[in-house]
Amino acid sequence: MLPPTADLTGYRVVVVPESTPVDDALAVRLQQYREGGGAVLLIGPALLKNGAGPALPDLPVEGLAQATAGESFLAGEGVPGVPADFPVISYGSRLTARAAPGAEVLARVVAPYFPRSWDRFCGHSYTPPADLTEEVAVAVGGGVAAVTAPLLEAFHEHGLEAYRHLLGAALDRLLPDPLVRAGGPVHLETTVMRTPTGTTLNLISFVPARETPALDLVHDLFPLVDVPVALRLDGEPRSVRLQPEGRELPWEHDGTYLHVRVTVLDGHAMVVVDHD
């Protein structure tokens, strides 16, 4: 989490959420970061500079404007977990846009069958979807991902899995070789610490429960069983151990990633990699 004035040069991807206004100064800094090789993910209103024109030149979308209030739906285009034939509802205000030439479209907008209003009402919580439109919901191109719907806020409030898949697909395009990839449960958290001679990878598998209005508690540890982990590593390691047990782990190195499989029962695994 960084303030808009932070130095971005040490990061490969920057995510600008819908809650962050993009003014002239931030737009300049994002463009300089992009020209330096960084990738940018812009969500909802962050696509607009000062709420008007595009926040960055050469976005993967064109014709940005505020959409008419009301329900809409999102249909995936080749994104696992986001169906194309059964669109998911999009909550909150969004922007309208069309794909720029050469952009990869990950999702499009589906209009509702009819606009919900006092004289047009459906007994469900939203009206059914109609036809696929040319409006773009998620597009990627030129090191920039554009998300016209407020998917971070919507996921926080509604938790629809398709939102997470769409954001994940956009990040995968911007960062195809992340520092670490891990299988296992969706709640799994990973952290990496590197020194000149070693790398430590922590896997945290604790499941919190919201038991008070503002407090999450952890009562039980969630085991990790045969979880595949890939750590980006230049060259083969000297040793790979599971600490604090000191147990050697079998490993493979494919030239880019170190691959191991981890099993622990207490919710925490610390993989220590010694290398030159």
Fold of 13-174: Rossmann fold (3.40.50)
Which residues on neighbouring strands pair with residue 17, listed in sequence order? none
Domain with CATH 2.60.40.1180 in the chain: 180-274
Distance, CA of 224 to CA of 64 (rounded, Å): 45
Range 180-274 classified under CATH 2.60.40.1180: yes
The share of the chain scoring above pLDDT 90, in percent, equals 74
- Asked whether residue 118 carries a pLDDT value surpassing 70, the answer given is no
Domain with CATH 3.40.50 in the chain: 13-174
Residue-wise pLDDT for 77-112, tens only, equals 999 989 888 899 888 889 999 999 999 999 999 988
Q: Which pLDDT score is estimated for 134? A: 92
Edge-to-edge strands, sheet with 247-248 = 189-194, 198-204, 268-274, 239-243, 247-248
* Torsion of the alpha carbons at 82, 87, 91 and 92, rounded to the nearest 10: 100
113, 129 contact by CB (below 8 A): yes
Residue-wise pLDDT for 185-234, tens only, equals 999 999 999 998 899 999 999 988 888 998 989 888 899 999 999 999 99
